[in-house]
Structure formats: structure tokens, C-alpha cells
Amino acid sequence: MGSAVDLQFFQFSEDFEVVQRQLPHWSQAGSLAFITFRTFDSMPRSVVEAWLAERDDWLRSHGVDPNHDQWQAQLSNLGSSKQHEFQGRFASRWHDELDQCHGDCVLRDAKLAKIVADSLLYFDGDRYVLTDFVVMPNHVHLLAAFADEHGMLKQCESWKRFTATKINASLHRKGRFWQQDGFDHLIRSDRQFHYYRDYIAKNPSKANLKSGEYLTWSK
């Protein structure tokens, strides 16, 4: 099947959309994005609040307004060294905390992880293009591009709604399964793309998971 999405890296000179929720979400037609969504119990509230407060303090101290819907663009104007400092201190710490496997971690169960994987693959090449993903015990990382600016958030909500219903039915329970807001980052270069592909591939070993406790896929 031919792809309905022409892949590219993020271009500031082309149209893009920013949706402000608890975290800002940037999207651009065809641009690859690194996306993380996590289970509702994957991160203690105290950890999230401390992370957000420290992140916002750092941004303000560098002249970036964390409440502005384009704060990431402001951050990009600080130069590569400050961007790398920010990435190392905050994005990496966030993902490191997820790898501590807080919560019930029900996606260790291969049958439940397969529900997520099958959902991700179902419309690949039609609504979006996937290059890589990993289903971890309490979160999912993936690299994907979407046909239009609205596709990313709409599809993430669809994935989460569908898989939550099926997983809750399998567990004989009701209620929220996924955290509503996810983390996403538009890929800006070939170097970033290969960095995140490598991150996804190595995430299980980094979290000290055993075979059968995770599910990975790559084109």
C-alpha cells in the first residue's frame, strides 16, 4: 500500500499548528514526531509537579515564557548548548522517571501489549506512517508522521480510547487507563531521527526489562 504521507523533518518556514494543553503540542503535515503516552498511574503526582515547576523556573531564568504557546520556538533561539542543557535536564529526566516503572505496569503482559501494537499498526500507511515503536510496561514511545496538522492529536486520542476499552475489558475493570496529555517532539534533523530510533530500540534494556516484558517494532 502506498503511503498517504510525504515524510519530512520539521520546517519553521512551513505551516504548523500548536495546541496548548498541560504541555504544548506542535504538529506539521508530514513531519516525523517522537511521541510518548503513558498509563494513568505511571507517574506520581508529586514527581510531575516538581518536574513542571523546575522546568518553568529554568525557562524563565533564560528569558522564555513557559506559558506562551510557542515557548519551544523561544527555546530554539537560545542556541544549541542551552537547548542540549534543557533536553538533558528535563526531557531525559522525564523519560528516566517513566523507566522506573511506577504503577501497575499491566503492559508487561504480552497479550495486553499486543493490543497496543496492533492498534498502532492498523492504519499505518493510510492515516499515518510509523517507523518505530516500543510498548513498555507503563508507557509507549513511537515515531510517526501524519497527513495534516490535526492528525497527530486526533490519532493519539483514537489509539488511547480504543486500547483503553480493550485493555480494561481484558482486566475486568473500568476507569481511566491512559494519561490524557502526552509528550511529543517534532524531529528537526536526520541526526535527531536516528537518536530517537536508537532510544526506542534501547529503552527496554535501559529499563532493565526482561524478554517478554516489552514489545518493539521497526521498519
Q: Please give the backbone phi and psi of residue 143, each rounded to the nearest 5 degrees, phi first.
A: -115, 125
Compute the average pLDDT of residues 202-219. Answer: 96
Provide the pLDDT for residue 177: 97
pLDDT in the model for residue 69 = 76
Non-local CB neighbours of 147 within 8 Å, separated by 6+ positions: 4, 5, 29, 30, 127, 128
- 28 assigned to some structural domain: yes
Question: b/e per residue, 144-165, with b = 16+ CB within 10 A?
Answer: bbbbebebbbebbeebbeebbe
Predicted pLDDT at 76: 75
pLDDT of residue 183: 77
Q: Is there a domain that residue 211 lies in?
A: yes
Please name the helix (run of DSSP H) or strand (run of DSSP E) that holds residue 50, with its range, or none: helix 45-61
Domain for residue 62, yes or no?
no
DSSP notation for 64-97: --TTSTTHHHHHHTT-HHHHHHHIIIIIHHHHHH
Q: What is the pLDDT of residues 160-200, one digit of tens each?
A: 999 999 999 999 999 999 998 777 788 878 888 999 999 99
| pLDDT single digits (tens) 9-67 | 555 544 444 444 444 445 555 788 899 999 999 987 877 778 788 888 989 999 999 88
Q: What pLDDT band is residue 75 in, cutting at 50, 70 and 90?
A: confident
pLDDT exceeds cutoff 80 at 202: yes
How confident is the model at residue 1, as a pLDDT? 36
Mean of all residue pLDDT scores within the chain: 84
Q: Does residue 98 belong to any structural domain of this protein? A: no
Percent of the chain with pLDDT over 90: 51
User: Is 102 part of any domain?
Assistant: no
Q: Is residue 190 assigned to a domain?
A: yes
CB contact at 8 A, 179 and 37: yes
Check residue 16 and give its pLDDT: 42
Distance in angstroms between the alpha carbons of the first and the last residue of the chain: 14
**What proportion of the chain, given as a percentage, has pLDDT over 70?**
84
| pTM, full prediction | 0.75
Q: Tell me, what's the pLDDT at 27?
A: 54
For residue 6, what pLDDT band results from cuts at 50, 70 and 90?
low
What CATH number corresponds to the domain at position 167? 3.30.70.1290
Residue 97 counted as domain residue? no
Range of the domain at 130: 17-43+107-218
Number of independent structural domains in the chain = 1
The pLDDT assigned to 17 comes to 44
Where is average pLDDT lowest: 86-90, 106-110, 131-135? 86-90
Q: Is residue 212 in a domain?
A: yes
